[in-house]
Amino acid sequence: MTKKGILAVVSGFSGAGKGTLMKELLQAHKDQYALSVSATTRQPRAGEEHGREYFFVTKEEFEQMIREDALIEYACYVGNYYGTPKSYVLEQMEAGRDVILEIEIQGALKVKERFPDTLLLFVTPPSAAELENRLKGRGTESSQVIRSRLKRAVEESEFMEKYDYILINDDLHACVREMHELIQVQHLRAGSNKEWIEKIKEELRSL
Amino acid sequence: MTKKGILAVVSGFSGAGKGTLMKELLQAHKDQYALSVSATTRQPRAGEEHGREYFFVTKEEFEQMIREDALIEYACYVGNYYGTPKSYVLEQMEAGRDVILEIEIQGALKVKERFPDTLLLFVTPPSAAELENRLKGRGTESSQVIRSRLKRAVEESEFMEKYDYILINDDLHACVREMHELIQVQHLRAGSNKEWIEKIKEELRSL
């Protein structure tokens, strides 16, 4: 079947455990996946590395990428640009790697509009109470920050139906396995295997 | 996530190994799957049992089922009716079992039209040459029957794109595993989990 990579976009509530989930997935299947790295105009924080957390670029460079249609999607938050460079994603997919994009909902929907074959995954804890527990349990956030994250979750939950699949992150390992299966079976989609189908049709006719 | 069963329709070339595949799948996951049994007006053959291979009914009984909209789909071949009784399928799905329907293409497309959530799977050998080998290898069919099966495969191949997923039956066990994964991940579809999504939205709002 198709050797070409799948583009999977992962979104979900802050506190749903997306980060850990994706780290585990990539560790377990190193050669299969590539994590897309975003470009941003914000300043690097301590410990962040160019090309690992983000590609740190200037406002001028970012705006040139916009003009050259070099971004799959981009958005502006609190005065900084964030976007997904197209070339890396397409290169990895051509090389047969499945590319995972962790972006927020508006970006995810834009990607789906532009590339309808994109797999949209929404990660959620098993319940709202559990989301609250996890946010509180971190112990690093003020109650005000927790309130604002929960408020944001209410807004984000309105878009869950627009995703293809919902992943409930209850047991981490089970969730990693489901995510892997979900992405891998997409290689069997009829729509992603038009060339293969044409080939067997041709072969059958010439028997 | 959703406890409700998935409806999966399996079609594919004669000689693709659908029968063995489904037998293995059902043996490996007895409690998860139910195989739909068709109703037919044709005479039972030696060894066939009412309710196992088919529900053998009279023409009058079958036509009454049509009038009562008791069939998901039906067709007429060589003067006999064949159809899928609705009640059994819906009961099994309500009970949380994934129902597998092995029917030909026209029936499969009708089911999808009527129940858009249906998962359409097309089973094929890895190549046309392999299909020919398998048909010949059976050693039970005349070369005329083999020719007519291959001719039918050419016609059927025109509809492969209309299926959701293509399953290449090269290694039986790998194919059974893929089929199982494919069906199971459908339980995570956002569209199949509207109630769950409404529930967590509600919970988030009331935090």
pLDDT, tens digit (0-9, with 9 covering 90-100), for B99-136: 999 999 999 999 999 999 999 999 999 999 999 999 99
pLDDT value, residue B74: 94
For an interface test with B, give the residue of A165, A180, A202 to mutate (most B CBs within 10 A): A165
Closest-CA residue of chain B to A170: B1
Nearest to A157 among B122, B189, B201 (CB): B201
List residues of B whose CB lies inside 8 A of any A CB. Answer: 1, 122, 124, 127-129, 131-132, 150, 153-154, 157-158, 160-168, 178, 181-182, 184-185, 188-191, 193-194, 196-197, 200-201, 203-207
Residue from B49, B120, B36 nearest B82 by CA: B36
Q: What is the enclosing helix (H) or strand (E) of A59? A: helix A59-67
Q: Which residue of B has its CA nearest to A178?
A: B185
Find all residues with CB under 8 Å of A14, minimum gap 6, and list them: A135, A149, A152, A153
Question: Chain A residues within 8 A (CB-CB) of chain B?
Answer: 1, 122, 124, 127-129, 131-132, 150, 153-154, 157-158, 160-168, 178, 181-182, 184-185, 188-191, 193-194, 196-197, 200-201, 203-207
Q: Measured between CA atoms, how close is B206 to chain A, in angstroms?
A: 9
From the CA of A83, how many Å to the nearest CA of chain B?
26
CA B180, B181, B182, B183 torsion: positive or negative? positive
The answer to whether residues B185 and A182 touch, using CB atoms and an 8 Å cutoff, is: yes
Query: pLDDT at position B142, please?
Result: 85
pLDDT of residue A2: 67
Most A CBs within 10 Å, among B127, B171, B185, B199, to test the A interface: B185
Q: Shortest Cα distance from B148 to chain A (angstroms)?
A: 12
Which residues of chain A, if any, have pLDDT below 70? 1-2
Domain B7-36+98-205 sits in CATH at 3.40.50.300
Cβ-defined contact of A128 to B162 (cutoff 8 Å): no
A204 with B128: Cβ contact below 8 A: yes
> How far is A84 from A70, CA to CA, in rounded Å?
8
Domain residue spans of chain B: 7-36+98-205
Per-residue pLDDT of chain B (207 residues; tens, 9 = 90+): 668 999 999 999 988 999 899 999 999 999 999 999 999 999 999 999 999 889 999 999 999 999 999 999 999 988 999 999 999 999 999 999 999 999 999 999 999 999 999 999 999 999 999 999 999 987 777 889 889 999 999 999 999 999 999 999 999 999 999 999 999 999 999 999 999 999 999 999 998
Q: Report the chain B residue with the minimal C-alpha distance to residue A167.
A: B188
Contact criterion met (CB < 8 Å) for A131 and B204: yes
Q: Out of A150, A160, A178, name the one closest to residue B197 (CB).
A: A160
Distance CA A8, CA A98 (A): 7
> Assign residue A15 a region: left if phi > 0, alpha if psi is -120 to 50, beta otherwise?
left
Residue A78: predicted pLDDT: 84
pLDDT at B141: 77
pLDDT tens per residue across span A42-79: 999 999 999 988 999 999 999 999 999 999 999 998 89
All residues of chain A having their beta carbon less than 8 Å from the beta carbon of residue B8 are none
Beta bridge partners of B98: B33
Helix (H) or strand (E) holding A35: strand A33-35
Distance of alpha carbon B191 from alpha carbon A162, whole angstroms: 9
ipTM score here?
Answer: 0.89
Contact B207 A128 (CB under 8 A): yes
User: Given this model, what pLDDT does residue A141 score?
Assistant: 77
